[in-house]
Amino acid sequence: MADKEKKPKKRIRKLLDKYRLVILNENTFEERLSFKLTRLNVFVMGSLMAVFFISITYLIIALTPLREYIPGYSSTALKKKATELSYKTDSLQQVIVLNDRYYNSIKKVLTGDVSTVEFNRDSIINAVKTEAREVDLAPIAEDSLLREKVDKEDKYNLFESATSATNFVLFPPVNGAISETYKPKEKHYAVDVTVAKDTPIKATADGVVIFAEWTASTGYVIILEHSHGLISIYKHCSALTKVQGDLVKSGEVIATAGNTGELSTGPHLHFELWNDGYPINPTNFIDFK
């Protein structure tokens, strides 16, 4: 029992035994430095130094750009680029959805797979006039003063640019006899106008070309988008003089009449008018004679 009690005491005593670390000049054996150490001191100092270096290393990796060079850590530039790509992807998805809706609408217009709504020109004009009556057009004091000032400035202006109060007018694309009238019940949402081959086809109003291609059933087709939600379609053309994206003026030549496509029975123009996705009878707005 006495031997067993002495062993732990010896171990503790060894930890506290003092040692001297001496640094000597190898040639002259001159003592330069000396340190008194114990095993316990060496263990404690070593532990503290290890904790210190581990902490410093962790802070360098966590708080400085050096962590980008360590496998497993992503770089700041990569994160920024990934965020930008995420935003761009979301924007592209929205654009794709809008384009899909737009192309589906164009496809329905080309195939005629839409519901019909009868438009009456007189009813549209009366509705506009009724809305105008409901608006209070009485000028306020500031408006009267502004009008008086403008009148004085333009009193001697030889190039007065007063706009005319004309309504929205549609230009006849061609002049000729109507061989097939507008028949929505038979899904013929157009008028067929008989003309000679290579007769110039003109734009019915100012607009932009949104489609100008060849189709097997209707030959060369050109579609214009105008203001007020209006779309005009010209089919069975022999040639097109405009391409997609071109801006056109009212009365400008956009194609020539022909007899192209499987559904054509002779030289003529198949002309359609659409407003906000609904077909309109072109003869209510245009005189083809």
User: What is the CB neighbour count within 10 angstroms for residue 217?
Assistant: 14
The one-letter amino acid code at 175 reads: N
Give residue for tokens 């080309």: 110
**What is the pLDDT at residue 87?**
83
The yes or no reply on domain 177-284 and CATH 2.70.70.10 is yes
- HSE value, Cβ hemisphere, 13 Å, CA-based, for 274: 23
**What is the pLDDT at residue 84?**
85
List the alpha helices (DSSP H) in the chain: 2-16, 39-63, 76-111, 121-134, 141-153
DSSP-assigned beta bridge partners for residue 250: none
Query: How is the chain split into domains, by residue range?
Result: 10-63, 177-284
Q: What is the Cα–Cα distance from 227 to 168, expressed in whole angstroms? A: 10
Tell me whether strands 18-24 and 268-275 are parallel, antiparallel or unpaired. Answer: unpaired
Nearest residue to 195 (alpha-carbon basis) of 178, 215, 218: 178
User: Contact, 182 vs 191, CB < 8 A?
Assistant: yes
For residue 182 the two structure tokens come to: 């507008």
**What is the pLDDT at residue 166?**
41
Nearest residue to 182 (alpha-carbon basis) of 287, 279, 258: 279
pTM of the shown model: 0.47
**What is the pLDDT at residue 163?**
39
**What is the pLDDT at residue 200?**
94
Q: Tens-of-pLDDT digits for all 289 residues of the chain?
A: 555 555 666 667 777 777 777 788 778 777 777 777 777 788 888 889 999 999 888 887 777 766 666 666 666 677 778 888 888 888 888 888 888 888 887 877 777 666 655 555 566 666 656 655 655 666 677 777 777 776 666 554 444 444 333 456 789 999 999 999 999 888 889 999 999 998 999 999 999 999 999 998 899 999 999 988 899 999 999 999 999 999 999 999 999 999 998 888 889 999 999 988 889 899 988 888 8
DSSP-assigned beta bridge partners for residue 33: 23
**What is the pLDDT at residue 120?**
59
Q: Please state, in angstroms and as integers, the Cα–Cα distance from residue 141 to each residue in 138, 158, 167, 263, 280, following that order.
A: 10, 28, 29, 63, 43
For residue 220 the two structure tokens come to: 């060369």
